Amino acid sequence: MFARMRVYNTLNRRKEELRPIQPGRVTIYSCGPTVYKYAHVGNLRTYIFADLLCRTLEYLGHQVEQAMNITDVGHLTEDEFDRGEDKMLVSARLENRSAEEIADFYTAAFLEDIARVNIRPAAHYPRATHYIPRMQELIARLIDLGHAYVVEGTVYYDIASFGDYGKLSNNSTEQLIAGARGEPDPRKRHPGDFTLWKHAGEKRVQVWNSPWGPGFPGWHIECSAMSTALFGDRFDIHTGGVDNVFPHHEAEIAQSEAAFGHQVVGYWMHGDMLMLSGHRMAKSAGNFFRVTELEEQGHDPLAYRYLALQAKYRTKLNFSLEQLAGADRVLRQMRERVADWHDAPDGPRGDYAERFRAAIADDLDFPAAMALVSELVHSDLAAGAKAALLLDWDRVLGLDLGRTPSADAGELPPGAAELLDRREKARAAKDYATSDALRAELAEMGVVVTDSREGQKWKVAKGAIPSPLRGGNGRG
């Protein structure tokens, strides 16, 4: 049996009951990282939101199949296309590595970072570079259907050809055309038209042949291609940060719906931004923290997850180190209590279980769920009952409430010990390519490896509910 859930759908601007295409089984596509730099805790807030969605659905009895894309090419905005700045290639040049090496390195770092905050691995991590033919197929179809046009080897989407353009971001096509930034490109029919395929020009790396000449894909077409390759032309939920609503998701709707002739995504869900001193935490602005930095300062990365749980995902959250330190203390105290209460006698549990389910099923109301946690802790329920409830809820909260101060690093999943062994040997032989590849493989299993002077150390991210659809290696 599975319980109902209500979610806020950006498309209709209201909370709706979630009705999956196949009852009891939910398909979720989450916009993932561009792997040319490390993720910061702002990015992690958006991925924690997606993780909470998956865990909540599973807790309520649904099966979940999640895909998260890895953008290992381009990710260019229209302005950047015009300026010819490719972040992947800029990083490759600066770090004196190939684009592929950059992508592998930062993909592994990403998987480790999400494991640090107990985000469970998605079933699929499709990489954009593995889906170029599929993107070209979609682009060709859009040209055939009159939604795209070719100018000197570059293909543009004709936004005026899609009547619903603007429906997600609540803009009319006219407003969007008028609001287009930067120098108008004289080759575009409308300034708001976006690039599906960009002619290579002088570029020689990360370039593919195509019916329109050598080039590379736009960022938006990647997500239309990968989501429908994995889930078919209809799936349930699409997640991302609010900054993805326009243009990225608006463009994805225009591409996918024009190509397939019907609505593709049922529910669009967007998490709001993490702020630092009043500004959006951002890589480009340089105001950010990595989760490893928090760790180096002695904080439990899960204290950050605890902070993320305190705010509704649809509101901005201001990050501060003081609050993080406070969360650290509360979390440590909660774990000590759970350890103390664990073997105490159980007793009646009141309506706590129901109220917890109701909170999270109401569009992921984690602030309400966390208020309930504190109410429970201070209640007069039997200690054993409190511990049992908290440990059950932790399947969703993911705060390792069952971790005792002396607990070991966790139990390794099957096969991980052998990979750790091989990695140790690869490092000893200074074969860093192999050791990085093994680290990525381990991270996909939820095992985080860190290197220290005494050798490699590992920690297992605690999974919640085992699901047959989880943890596959769906690498595109």
User: Rounded to whole angstroms, how far apart are CA atoms 295 and 324?
Assistant: 11
Place of tokens 């090496």: 101
Selected binder of ligand AMP within 5, 7, 10, 45 (CB under 6 A): 45
Nearest distance in Å: CB 37, ligand AMP: 8
Q: Which does 192 bind (CB under 5 to 8 A by kind): ligand AMP, Zn ion, none?
A: none
Window contacting ligand AMP (CB under 6 A); options: 38-46, 77-85, 167-175, 207-215: 38-46
Question: Which residue, 284 or 406, has its beta carbon nearer to ligand AMP?
Answer: 284
Q: Which does 129 bind (CB under 5 to 8 A by kind): ligand AMP, Zn ion, none?
A: none
Q: Which does 274 bind (CB under 5 to 8 A by kind): ligand AMP, Zn ion, none?
A: ligand AMP
Site map 449..468 versus ligand AMP, x via CB under 6 A: --------------------
Nearest distance in Å: CB 247, ligand AMP: 13
Nearest distance in Å: CB 255, ligand AMP: 18
Give helix 321-341 / helix 301-310 axis angle, nearest 10°: 100
Selected binder of Zn ion within 31, 359, 370, 438 (CB under 5 A): 31
Question: Which residue, 272 or 300, has its beta carbon nearer to Zn ion?
Answer: 272
Q: Which does 241 bind (CB under 5 to 8 A by kind): Zn ion, ligand AMP, none?
A: ligand AMP
User: Rounded to whole angstroms, how far apart are CA atoms 29 and 68?
Assistant: 6
Site map 50..79 versus ligand AMP, x via CB under 6 A: ------------------------------
- Distances 127 to 19, 227, 238, 436 between C-alpha atoms, Å: 29, 11, 17, 17
Amino acid identity of residue 408, one-letter, is D
Q: Which does 101 bind (CB under 5 to 8 A by kind): ligand AMP, Zn ion, none?
A: none
Exposed/middle/buried for residue 146 (C-beta within 10 Å: 0-12, 13-18, 19+)? exposed
The Cβ of residue 395 has, within 10 Å, a number of other Cβ atoms equal to 15
Contact between 389 and ligand AMP by CB under 6 A: the answer reads no
User: Rounded to whole angstroms, how far apart are CA atoms 105 and 423?
Assistant: 15
* Largest interatomic CA distance in the chain: 75
Selected binder of Zn ion within 57, 223, 338, 445 (CB under 5 A): 223
Site map 207..246 versus ligand AMP, x via CB under 6 A: ---------------------------------xx-xx--
How many residues sit in the footprint of ligand AMP (CB under 6 A)?
16
Q: Which does 42 bind (CB under 5 to 8 A by kind): ligand AMP, Zn ion, none?
A: ligand AMP
Contacts 24+ apart (CB under 8 A), 372-381: 373/334, 373/397, 376/352, 377/334, 377/337, 379/350, 379/352, 381/347, 381/348, 381/349, 381/350, 381/352
User: What value does the CA radius of gyration of the chain take, rounded to a whole number of Å?
Assistant: 23
Nearest distance in Å: CB 129, ligand AMP: 16
Q: Taking CB under 6 A as the criterion, which residues in 238-297 touch ligand AMP?
A: 240-241, 243-244, 273-274, 280-282
Contacts 24+ apart (CB under 8 A), 142-150: 142/196, 142/255, 142/258, 142/259, 145/258, 145/259, 147/254, 147/258, 147/259, 148/196, 149/189, 150/212
Nearest distance in Å: CB 441, ligand AMP: 23
Q: Which residue is nearest to ligand AMP (CB)?
A: 241
Amino acid identity of residue 20, one-letter, is P
Sign of CA dihedral 86, 87, 93, 96: negative
The length of the chain is: 476
Contact between 46 and ligand AMP by CB under 6 A: the answer reads yes
User: Rounded to whole angstroms, how far apart are CA atoms 242 and 222?
Assistant: 19
Q: Which does 223 bind (CB under 5 to 8 A by kind): Zn ion, ligand AMP, none?
A: Zn ion
Nearest distance in Å: CB 182, Zn ion: 21
Question: Which residue, 118 or 173, has its beta carbon nearer to ligand AMP?
Answer: 118
Q: Which residues bind Zn ion (CB under 5 A)?
A: 31, 223
Q: Which residues bind ligand AMP (CB under 6 A)?
A: 31, 33-34, 42-43, 45-46, 240-241, 243-244, 273-274, 280-282
